[in-house]
């Protein structure tokens, strides 16, 4: 079964593998892949100096253009951003701008193992331009209702450092009938997974085989929106 991976990092941000290595590995595993490096914004002067790639949407745009030409990328690679550690008030403006450029938009949620500003989950779930809330850590009932209203997909993660929070997240998603996706959040090619392995992540989170299948259908649906 073909997998749809919506969350991955390359050496453009803090990943260890090049974009070529990520794409080649995904293809080997019969997986389509979204390249979603961290976007940390330009709020601080130091970000612009130390992390020019991760501070401007223009750099993401230029890279997409370059790689689309170089690889003749077809229907198995899309590009996006993971909004990371940004002042929650700025999430709507950034998400909207990224969406206009046809980038899939993830927000780095409030997992307890990699802290982001409090209020990030709520800001993300209130924003219609966000596609996926990654590793949210915890979701209140109010936040769950917002996710439903704005049709935002909630991530079940295969990443070791965030995994223990999956069962609680899956439970509230099922209670409120929210749509989930299973992502690797891979920071190297070796962390990408195939469908079989995604099934294991899903079952560890308390999902049935049918529910895992639905997460992949959800990812496929989002993926197709961003094929350009």
**Stretch of 10-18, 26-34, 52-60, 120-128 contacting Zn ion, by CB under 5 A:** 10-18
Q: Give how far Cα 138 sits from Cα of 8, 56, 143, 149, 215, Å.
A: 21, 29, 10, 18, 19
Which residues does 24 contact at the CB level (< 8 Å), separation at least 6? 189
**Contact between 185 and Zn ion (CB under 5 A)?**
yes
Cβ 145 to Zn ion shortest distance, Å = 25
Cβ neighbours around 45 below 10 Å, total: 9
Taking CB under 5 A as the criterion, the residue among 14, 21, 168, 204 binding Zn ion is: 14
Interface mask toward Zn ion for 80-119; x: CB under 5 A: --x-------------------------------------
Cβ 38 to Zn ion shortest distance, Å = 5
- The size of the interface with Zn ion (CB under 5 A), counted in residues, is 3
Cβ 175 to Zn ion shortest distance, Å = 26
List phi, psi (to 5°) of 216.
-70, -35
User: What residue ranges bind Zn ion (CB under 5 A)?
Assistant: 14, 82, 185
């Amino acid at each position: 079964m073909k997998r749809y991976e919506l969350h991955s990092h390359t050496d453009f941000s803090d990943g260890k593998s090049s974009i070529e290595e990520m794409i080649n590995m995904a293809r080997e595993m019969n997986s389509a892949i979204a390249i979603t490096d961290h976007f940390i914004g330009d709020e601080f002067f130091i970000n612009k100096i130390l992390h020019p790639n991760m501070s401007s949407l223009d750099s993401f745009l230029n890279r997409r253009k370059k790689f689309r030409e170089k690889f003749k990328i077809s229907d198995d690679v899309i590009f996006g951003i993971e909004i990371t550690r940004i002042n929650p008030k700025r999430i709507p403006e950034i998400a909207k701008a990224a969406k206009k450029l046809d980038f899939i938009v993830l927000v780095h949620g409030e997992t307890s193992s990699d802290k982001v500003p409090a209020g990030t989950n709520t800001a993300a779930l209130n924003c219609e331009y966000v596609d996926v809330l990654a590793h949210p850590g915890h979701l209140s009932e109010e936040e769950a209702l917002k996710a439903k209203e704005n049709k935002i997909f909630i991530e079940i993660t295969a990443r070791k450092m965030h995994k223990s929070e999956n069962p609680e997240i899956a439970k509230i998603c099922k209670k409120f009938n929210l749509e989930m996706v299973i992502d690797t959040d891979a920071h190297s090619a070796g962390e990408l997974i195939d469908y079989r392995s995604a099934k294991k992540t899903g079952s560890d989170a308390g999902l049935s085989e049918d529910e895992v299948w639905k997460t992949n259908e959800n990812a496929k649906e989002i993926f197709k929106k961003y094929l350009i």
